[in-house]
Structure 1
Amino acid sequence: MNITVFCSAADLDDRYTGPAREFAELIGRGGHTLVWGGSESGLMKVMADGVQDNGGRLVGISVEFLAAKARRDADEMVFAKDLAERKALLLARGDAVVVMVGGTGTLDEATEILELKKHGMHTKPVVLLNAAGFYDGLKQQFQRMEDEGFLPLPLTELVFFAEDGVGALAYLEESAGLE
Protein backbone atom coordinates (compact mmCIF):
# COMPACT_ATOMS: atom_id res chain seq x y z
CA MET A 1 0.00 0.00 0.00
CA ASN A 2 1.22 3.51 -0.77
CA ILE A 3 0.62 5.64 2.32
CA THR A 4 0.73 9.39 1.79
CA VAL A 5 1.82 11.17 4.95
CA PHE A 6 1.50 14.89 5.54
CA CYS A 7 3.64 16.14 8.41
CA SER A 8 5.99 18.86 9.56
CA ALA A 9 9.53 19.41 8.35
CA ALA A 10 10.28 21.07 11.72
CA ASP A 11 12.46 19.50 14.39
CA LEU A 12 10.13 18.43 17.20
CA ASP A 13 10.46 16.81 20.61
CA ASP A 14 9.85 13.17 21.48
CA ARG A 15 6.11 13.64 22.10
CA TYR A 16 5.87 13.78 18.30
CA THR A 17 9.00 12.06 17.00
CA GLY A 18 8.39 8.92 19.09
CA PRO A 19 4.94 8.18 17.59
CA ALA A 20 6.26 9.12 14.13
CA ARG A 21 9.18 6.71 14.47
CA GLU A 22 6.82 3.94 15.63
CA PHE A 23 4.45 4.53 12.71
CA ALA A 24 7.33 4.68 10.21
CA GLU A 25 8.70 1.35 11.46
CA LEU A 26 5.26 -0.23 11.05
CA ILE A 27 4.98 1.09 7.49
CA GLY A 28 8.41 -0.28 6.59
CA ARG A 29 7.94 -3.66 8.27
CA GLY A 30 4.57 -4.00 6.58
CA GLY A 31 6.23 -3.65 3.17
CA HIS A 32 4.39 -0.42 2.45
CA THR A 33 5.62 2.67 0.61
CA LEU A 34 5.82 6.10 2.22
CA VAL A 35 4.70 8.87 -0.09
CA TRP A 36 5.74 12.10 1.60
CA GLY A 37 6.91 15.66 1.07
CA GLY A 38 10.45 14.52 0.35
CA SER A 39 12.23 16.67 2.92
CA GLU A 40 15.41 15.60 4.70
CA SER A 41 14.52 17.53 7.85
CA GLY A 42 12.28 17.36 10.88
CA LEU A 43 9.45 14.90 11.19
CA MET A 44 9.66 14.17 7.46
CA LYS A 45 13.19 12.86 8.00
CA VAL A 46 12.12 10.80 11.01
CA MET A 47 9.40 9.18 8.90
CA ALA A 48 11.66 8.52 5.90
CA ASP A 49 14.47 7.09 8.06
CA GLY A 50 12.08 4.78 9.92
CA VAL A 51 10.41 3.47 6.78
CA GLN A 52 13.67 2.96 4.90
CA ASP A 53 15.45 1.35 7.88
CA ASN A 54 12.64 -1.19 8.11
CA GLY A 55 12.45 -2.24 4.47
CA GLY A 56 9.85 0.14 3.08
CA ARG A 57 10.09 2.26 -0.06
CA LEU A 58 10.23 6.07 -0.25
CA VAL A 59 8.46 8.19 -2.84
CA GLY A 60 9.17 11.87 -2.25
CA ILE A 61 7.14 14.65 -3.79
CA SER A 62 8.77 17.99 -3.22
CA VAL A 63 8.57 21.38 -4.90
CA GLU A 64 11.20 23.03 -7.04
CA PHE A 65 11.87 25.81 -4.53
CA LEU A 66 12.68 23.21 -1.85
CA ALA A 67 14.88 20.98 -4.04
CA ALA A 68 17.96 21.70 -1.93
CA LYS A 69 16.21 20.17 1.13
CA ALA A 70 15.07 17.02 -0.67
CA ARG A 71 16.23 13.58 0.41
CA ARG A 72 18.76 12.20 -2.05
CA ASP A 73 18.38 8.46 -1.41
CA ALA A 74 14.62 8.10 -1.91
CA ASP A 75 13.51 5.34 -4.26
CA GLU A 76 11.77 8.02 -6.30
CA MET A 77 11.74 11.83 -6.07
CA VAL A 78 9.32 14.04 -7.98
CA PHE A 79 9.49 17.84 -8.08
CA ALA A 80 6.22 19.71 -8.52
CA LYS A 81 6.15 23.26 -9.86
CA ASP A 82 4.20 24.61 -6.85
CA LEU A 83 2.47 23.60 -3.62
CA ALA A 84 -0.92 23.04 -5.28
CA GLU A 85 0.56 20.56 -7.74
CA ARG A 86 2.48 18.91 -4.89
CA LYS A 87 -0.72 18.32 -2.90
CA ALA A 88 -2.45 16.86 -5.95
CA LEU A 89 0.48 14.52 -6.65
CA LEU A 90 0.70 13.43 -3.01
CA LEU A 91 -2.99 12.53 -3.01
CA ALA A 92 -2.81 10.82 -6.41
CA ARG A 93 0.18 8.63 -5.47
CA GLY A 94 -1.29 7.36 -2.19
CA ASP A 95 -3.81 4.62 -1.55
CA ALA A 96 -4.47 6.17 1.86
CA VAL A 97 -3.67 9.43 3.66
CA VAL A 98 -2.29 10.03 7.14
CA VAL A 99 -2.01 13.52 8.57
CA MET A 100 0.50 13.84 11.38
CA VAL A 101 1.43 16.85 13.48
CA GLY A 102 2.38 19.99 11.63
CA GLY A 103 1.81 23.68 11.12
CA THR A 104 -0.27 25.71 8.72
CA GLY A 105 0.98 23.82 5.65
CA THR A 106 -0.05 20.47 7.14
CA LEU A 107 -3.41 21.89 8.22
CA ASP A 108 -3.95 23.25 4.69
CA GLU A 109 -3.16 19.84 3.23
CA ALA A 110 -5.48 18.09 5.69
CA THR A 111 -8.44 20.34 5.06
CA GLU A 112 -8.05 20.13 1.28
CA ILE A 113 -7.89 16.32 1.39
CA LEU A 114 -11.00 16.23 3.59
CA GLU A 115 -12.85 18.73 1.40
CA LEU A 116 -12.10 16.64 -1.69
CA LYS A 117 -13.32 13.52 0.10
CA LYS A 118 -16.47 15.31 1.28
CA HIS A 119 -17.29 16.11 -2.34
CA GLY A 120 -16.60 12.56 -3.53
CA MET A 121 -13.40 13.46 -5.40
CA HIS A 122 -11.67 10.52 -3.70
CA THR A 123 -12.64 7.68 -1.39
CA LYS A 124 -9.27 7.00 0.20
CA PRO A 125 -9.16 6.41 3.94
CA VAL A 126 -7.90 9.47 5.84
CA VAL A 127 -6.37 9.25 9.31
CA LEU A 128 -5.39 12.06 11.64
CA LEU A 129 -2.64 10.66 13.86
CA ASN A 130 -3.38 12.43 17.12
CA ALA A 131 0.05 12.16 18.77
CA ALA A 132 0.09 13.63 22.29
CA GLY A 133 -3.47 14.90 21.74
CA PHE A 134 -2.27 17.34 19.09
CA TYR A 135 -5.55 17.20 17.16
CA ASP A 136 -7.95 17.11 20.14
CA GLY A 137 -9.16 20.65 19.40
CA LEU A 138 -9.63 19.91 15.71
CA LYS A 139 -11.52 16.73 16.55
CA GLN A 140 -13.81 18.75 18.80
CA GLN A 141 -14.35 21.31 16.02
CA PHE A 142 -15.14 18.60 13.47
CA GLN A 143 -17.61 17.04 15.93
CA ARG A 144 -19.30 20.43 16.31
CA MET A 145 -19.45 20.78 12.51
CA GLU A 146 -21.17 17.39 12.31
CA ASP A 147 -23.53 18.11 15.24
CA GLU A 148 -24.60 21.45 13.75
CA GLY A 149 -25.15 20.12 10.23
CA PHE A 150 -22.08 21.46 8.43
CA LEU A 151 -20.92 18.04 7.19
CA PRO A 152 -22.92 16.26 4.49
CA LEU A 153 -21.70 12.86 5.69
CA PRO A 154 -20.89 11.40 9.10
CA LEU A 155 -17.54 12.40 10.54
CA THR A 156 -16.60 8.71 10.84
CA GLU A 157 -16.87 8.40 7.03
CA LEU A 158 -14.70 11.46 6.50
CA VAL A 159 -11.76 10.86 8.85
CA PHE A 160 -10.48 8.45 11.49
CA PHE A 161 -8.65 9.80 14.53
CA ALA A 162 -5.91 7.38 15.63
CA GLU A 163 -4.13 7.80 18.94
CA ASP A 164 -1.04 5.87 17.80
CA GLY A 165 0.64 4.33 14.80
CA VAL A 166 -0.67 0.84 15.52
CA GLY A 167 -4.25 2.13 15.41
CA ALA A 168 -3.57 4.17 12.28
CA LEU A 169 -2.07 1.29 10.32
CA ALA A 170 -4.71 -1.18 11.52
CA TYR A 171 -7.44 1.17 10.26
CA LEU A 172 -5.69 1.63 6.91
CA GLU A 173 -5.11 -2.08 6.39
CA GLU A 174 -8.71 -2.86 7.35
CA SER A 175 -9.98 -0.17 4.97
CA ALA A 176 -7.85 -1.62 2.18
CA GLY A 177 -8.87 -5.21 2.97
CA LEU A 178 -5.31 -6.17 4.00
CA GLU A 179 -6.02 -7.22 7.58
Structure 2
Amino acid sequence: MTEKNTPIRSICVYCGSQSGRDQSYIDAGRALGKSIAENHLRLVYGGGTKGIMGAVASGVLSHGGRVTGIIPEFLMDMEATRHSLGQLSELIVTPDMHDRKHKMFERSDAFVTLPGGIGTLEEIVEIMTWAQLGRHRKPIVLVNINGFWDPLMTLIHHMADAGFIHTAHLVQPLVIDAAEDVVPALLAHWASQVDRDGNDGIISKL
Protein backbone atom coordinates (compact mmCIF):
# COMPACT_ATOMS: atom_id res chain seq x y z
CA MET A 1 0.00 0.00 0.00
CA THR A 2 1.41 3.42 -0.95
CA GLU A 3 0.71 7.09 -0.33
CA LYS A 4 1.85 10.39 -1.79
CA ASN A 5 4.80 12.22 -0.29
CA THR A 6 3.02 14.59 2.10
CA PRO A 7 4.15 17.45 4.34
CA ILE A 8 5.09 16.68 7.92
CA ARG A 9 1.96 17.26 9.97
CA SER A 10 2.52 14.94 12.91
CA ILE A 11 5.64 13.80 14.75
CA CYS A 12 5.92 10.59 16.72
CA VAL A 13 8.19 10.94 19.75
CA TYR A 14 9.71 7.94 21.50
CA CYS A 15 11.29 8.58 24.90
CA GLY A 16 11.54 7.36 28.46
CA SER A 17 8.62 7.17 30.86
CA GLN A 18 11.22 7.94 33.54
CA SER A 19 13.05 11.25 33.94
CA GLY A 20 16.59 9.92 33.90
CA ARG A 21 19.39 11.29 36.04
CA ASP A 22 20.21 14.31 33.88
CA GLN A 23 17.89 17.33 34.02
CA SER A 24 18.78 18.10 30.42
CA TYR A 25 16.64 15.14 29.29
CA ILE A 26 13.48 16.66 30.77
CA ASP A 27 14.44 20.11 29.48
CA ALA A 28 14.89 18.66 25.99
CA GLY A 29 11.47 17.02 26.18
CA ARG A 30 9.78 20.30 27.06
CA ALA A 31 11.74 22.19 24.39
CA LEU A 32 10.80 19.66 21.72
CA GLY A 33 7.15 19.83 22.72
CA LYS A 34 7.20 23.63 22.55
CA SER A 35 8.74 23.53 19.08
CA ILE A 36 6.16 21.01 17.84
CA ALA A 37 3.32 23.24 19.03
CA GLU A 38 4.82 26.46 17.68
CA ASN A 39 5.15 24.86 14.24
CA HIS A 40 1.48 23.77 14.32
CA LEU A 41 2.30 20.07 14.24
CA ARG A 42 0.65 17.27 16.18
CA LEU A 43 2.49 15.15 18.73
CA VAL A 44 1.88 11.40 18.54
CA TYR A 45 3.36 9.55 21.49
CA GLY A 46 2.93 6.66 23.88
CA GLY A 47 0.43 8.41 26.17
CA GLY A 48 2.54 8.50 29.31
CA THR A 49 2.25 11.56 31.54
CA LYS A 50 5.36 10.89 33.62
CA GLY A 51 9.08 11.29 32.94
CA ILE A 52 10.31 12.59 29.60
CA MET A 53 7.06 11.47 27.95
CA GLY A 54 5.12 13.76 30.23
CA ALA A 55 7.57 16.62 29.60
CA VAL A 56 7.08 16.41 25.83
CA ALA A 57 3.29 16.30 26.09
CA SER A 58 3.28 19.16 28.60
CA GLY A 59 5.51 21.21 26.32
CA VAL A 60 3.03 20.80 23.46
CA LEU A 61 -0.14 21.38 25.47
CA SER A 62 1.16 24.40 27.38
CA HIS A 63 1.85 26.11 24.06
CA GLY A 64 -1.54 25.40 22.53
CA GLY A 65 -0.58 22.34 20.52
CA ARG A 66 -2.36 19.06 19.83
CA VAL A 67 -1.43 15.73 21.37
CA THR A 68 -2.49 12.20 20.48
CA GLY A 69 -1.62 9.68 23.16
CA ILE A 70 -1.70 5.98 22.26
CA ILE A 71 -1.39 3.65 25.23
CA PRO A 72 -2.21 0.01 26.00
CA GLU A 73 -4.78 -0.52 28.72
CA PHE A 74 -2.32 -2.35 30.98
CA LEU A 75 0.08 0.64 31.05
CA MET A 76 -2.44 3.34 31.89
CA ASP A 77 -1.77 3.28 35.62
CA MET A 78 1.96 2.57 35.26
CA GLU A 79 3.00 5.33 32.87
CA ALA A 80 0.21 7.84 33.39
CA THR A 81 -2.47 9.19 35.66
CA ARG A 82 -6.02 9.01 34.38
CA HIS A 83 -6.59 12.65 35.28
CA SER A 84 -3.63 13.75 33.15
CA LEU A 85 -4.72 11.56 30.27
CA GLY A 86 -7.95 13.51 30.19
CA GLN A 87 -5.99 16.64 29.23
CA LEU A 88 -4.74 15.15 25.95
CA SER A 89 -6.34 16.27 22.69
CA GLU A 90 -6.93 12.65 21.73
CA LEU A 91 -6.47 9.41 23.67
CA ILE A 92 -6.42 6.00 22.02
CA VAL A 93 -6.38 2.93 24.28
CA THR A 94 -5.13 -0.24 22.59
CA PRO A 95 -5.39 -3.88 23.66
CA ASP A 96 -1.65 -4.53 23.38
CA MET A 97 1.78 -3.12 22.47
CA HIS A 98 1.65 -4.36 18.88
CA ASP A 99 -1.53 -2.43 18.12
CA ARG A 100 -0.11 0.63 19.87
CA LYS A 101 3.04 0.65 17.72
CA HIS A 102 1.11 0.14 14.50
CA LYS A 103 -1.28 2.99 15.27
CA MET A 104 1.63 5.28 16.17
CA PHE A 105 3.26 4.47 12.83
CA GLU A 106 0.10 5.07 10.82
CA ARG A 107 -0.57 8.46 12.42
CA SER A 108 2.96 9.85 12.13
CA ASP A 109 4.92 11.54 9.35
CA ALA A 110 8.29 11.46 11.17
CA PHE A 111 9.89 9.72 14.15
CA VAL A 112 11.95 11.43 16.84
CA THR A 113 13.72 9.68 19.69
CA LEU A 114 14.78 11.33 22.93
CA PRO A 115 16.74 9.47 25.64
CA GLY A 116 15.02 6.44 27.10
CA GLY A 117 15.43 2.80 28.05
CA ILE A 118 14.98 -0.59 26.43
CA GLY A 119 11.43 0.12 25.30
CA THR A 120 12.49 3.35 23.60
CA LEU A 121 15.38 1.57 21.90
CA GLU A 122 13.14 -1.26 20.71
CA GLU A 123 10.65 1.18 19.20
CA ILE A 124 13.13 3.20 17.17
CA VAL A 125 15.10 0.13 16.04
CA GLU A 126 11.87 -1.36 14.70
CA ILE A 127 11.20 1.83 12.73
CA MET A 128 14.75 1.69 11.35
CA THR A 129 14.22 -1.98 10.44
CA TRP A 130 11.08 -1.13 8.49
CA ALA A 131 13.02 1.62 6.68
CA GLN A 132 15.81 -0.83 5.83
CA LEU A 133 13.22 -3.22 4.39
CA GLY A 134 11.80 -0.44 2.24
CA ARG A 135 8.46 -0.24 4.04
CA HIS A 136 8.63 3.53 4.56
CA ARG A 137 10.71 6.63 3.89
CA LYS A 138 9.57 8.72 6.82
CA PRO A 139 12.44 10.63 8.43
CA ILE A 140 13.99 9.36 11.66
CA VAL A 141 15.75 11.56 14.22
CA LEU A 142 17.91 10.71 17.22
CA VAL A 143 18.04 13.65 19.63
CA ASN A 144 21.56 13.16 20.88
CA ILE A 145 21.42 14.96 24.24
CA ASN A 146 24.93 14.95 25.72
CA GLY A 147 25.93 12.17 23.31
CA PHE A 148 23.24 9.79 24.61
CA TRP A 149 22.85 7.99 21.27
CA ASP A 150 26.55 7.83 20.37
CA PRO A 151 26.83 4.13 21.40
CA LEU A 152 23.88 3.22 19.16
CA MET A 153 25.39 5.00 16.15
CA THR A 154 28.72 3.27 16.83
CA LEU A 155 26.94 -0.09 16.86
CA ILE A 156 25.07 0.66 13.61
CA HIS A 157 28.31 1.65 11.88
CA HIS A 158 29.99 -1.48 13.25
CA MET A 159 27.21 -3.72 11.89
CA ALA A 160 27.42 -2.01 8.50
CA ASP A 161 31.21 -2.36 8.39
CA ALA A 162 30.87 -6.03 9.33
CA GLY A 163 28.58 -6.60 6.36
CA PHE A 164 25.26 -7.05 8.13
CA ILE A 165 23.51 -3.90 6.88
CA HIS A 166 23.68 -4.09 3.10
CA THR A 167 21.18 -1.26 2.67
CA ALA A 168 22.84 1.11 5.12
CA HIS A 169 21.76 4.10 3.03
CA LEU A 170 18.18 3.35 4.15
CA VAL A 171 19.17 3.41 7.83
CA GLN A 172 20.45 6.94 8.20
CA PRO A 173 18.76 8.68 11.12
CA LEU A 174 19.35 12.38 11.46
CA VAL A 175 21.45 12.88 14.59
CA ILE A 176 20.66 16.25 16.17
CA ASP A 177 22.18 17.51 19.40
CA ALA A 178 19.61 20.14 20.43
CA ALA A 179 15.87 19.54 20.76
CA GLU A 180 15.15 23.04 19.43
CA ASP A 181 16.74 22.10 16.10
CA VAL A 182 14.68 18.97 15.46
CA VAL A 183 11.54 20.42 13.87
CA PRO A 184 13.41 22.87 11.59
CA ALA A 185 15.64 20.00 10.46
CA LEU A 186 12.64 17.77 9.72
CA LEU A 187 10.87 20.47 7.72
CA ALA A 188 14.06 21.15 5.74
CA HIS A 189 14.50 17.40 5.16
CA TRP A 190 10.96 17.09 3.78
CA ALA A 191 11.49 20.08 1.49
CA SER A 192 14.69 18.53 0.12
CA GLN A 193 12.84 15.26 -0.57
CA VAL A 194 10.16 17.10 -2.53
CA ASP A 195 12.82 18.90 -4.55
CA ARG A 196 14.51 15.58 -5.30
CA ASP A 197 11.51 13.35 -5.91
CA GLY A 198 8.90 15.82 -7.12
CA ASN A 199 5.26 15.83 -6.05
CA ASP A 200 4.79 12.24 -7.22
CA GLY A 201 7.30 10.76 -4.78
CA ILE A 202 5.96 7.55 -3.28
CA ILE A 203 6.32 6.48 0.30
CA SER A 204 5.51 2.94 1.36
CA LYS A 205 2.99 2.43 4.12
CA LEU A 206 2.79 -0.60 6.38
TM, length-normalised to structure 1: 0.92
Fraction of identical pairs, as percent = 31
2:64 and 2:160 mapped to 1: Cα distance? 40
TM superposition shift of 1:6 = 0.6
Is this contact kept in 2: 1:25–1:54, CA < 8 A?
yes
1:15 and 1:174 mapped to 2: Cα distance? 25
Query: What is the number of equivalent residue pairs in this alignment?
Result: 178
- In the alignment, is residue 67 of structure 1 matched against residue 76 of structure 2? yes
**2:18 matched to which residue of 1?**
10
**1:131 matched to which residue of 2?**
145
Unmatched segments (≥5 aa) in structure 1:
none
**1:20 matched to which residue of 2?**
29
Matches within 5 A, 1:90-109: 90-109=104-123
Alignment counterpart, residue 99 of structure 2, candidates 75, 81, 85: 85
TM superposition shift of 1:157 = 5.0
TM superposition shift of 1:14 = 1.0
1:103 and 1:174 mapped to 2: Cα distance? 29
CA RMSD of aligned residues (A): 1.7
- In the alignment, is residue 145 of structure 1 matched against residue 163 of structure 2? no
Partner of 2:44, secondary structure, is: strand
2:185 and 2:167 mapped to 1: Cα distance? 19
Structure with more relative contact order (C-alpha pairs < 8 Å, separation 6 or more): 2
- In the alignment, is residue 76 of structure 1 matched against residue 90 of structure 2? yes
**2:48 matched to which residue of 1?**
39
**2:132 matched to which residue of 1?**
118
- In the alignment, is residue 161 of structure 1 matched against residue 169 of structure 2? no
1:34 and 1:164 mapped to 2: Cα distance? 18
1:147 and 1:159 mapped to 2: Cα distance? 17
Q: C-alpha deviations, 1:132-169, integer Å up to 9, x for none?
A: 11111111111122223222333575311111123322
1:171 and 1:156 mapped to 2: Cα distance? 18
